[in-house]
């Protein structure tokens, strides 16, 4: 049903947002450059997933909400 689809999309978006935030926070704590590079390479992909999921829902989130002017941890 439409309600189920909205719930799944909302849950997926929240998961991707948390994953992106975790990646961003982890980069500052990593001491190994290989590990930091791997996490940094995944961050844009996870962030893009969150934006897409936020835009395809039944009530699309404003792009300003999904792509803030400043990224913070």
Would you say 46 and 20 are in contact if contact means Cβ atoms under 8 Å apart?
yes
Give mean pLDDT, residues 37-59.
Answer: 88
> What are 2-22's pLDDT values in tens digits?
788 888 888 998 999 999 999
> Is this structure's pTM higher than 0.85?
no
Please determine, for residue 29, whether its predicted confidence score (pLDDT) is greater than 90. yes
- pLDDT reported for residue 35: 95
Q: Is the pLDDT higher at 36 or at 4?
A: 36
Give mean pLDDT, residues 28-48.
Answer: 93
Please determine, for residue 63, whether its predicted confidence score (pLDDT) is greater than 90. no
Residues 6+ apart with CB under 8 A from 12: 53
């Amino acid at each position: 049903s439409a309600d189920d689809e909205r719930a799944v999309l909302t849950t997926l978006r929240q998961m991707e947002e948390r994953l992106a935030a975790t990646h961003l926070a982890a980069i500052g704590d990593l001491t190994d450059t290989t590990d930091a590079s791997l996490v940094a390479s995944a961050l844009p992909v996870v962030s893009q997933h969150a934006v897409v999921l936020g835009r395809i829902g039944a009530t699309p989130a404003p792009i300003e909400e999904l792509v803030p002017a400043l990224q913070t941890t």
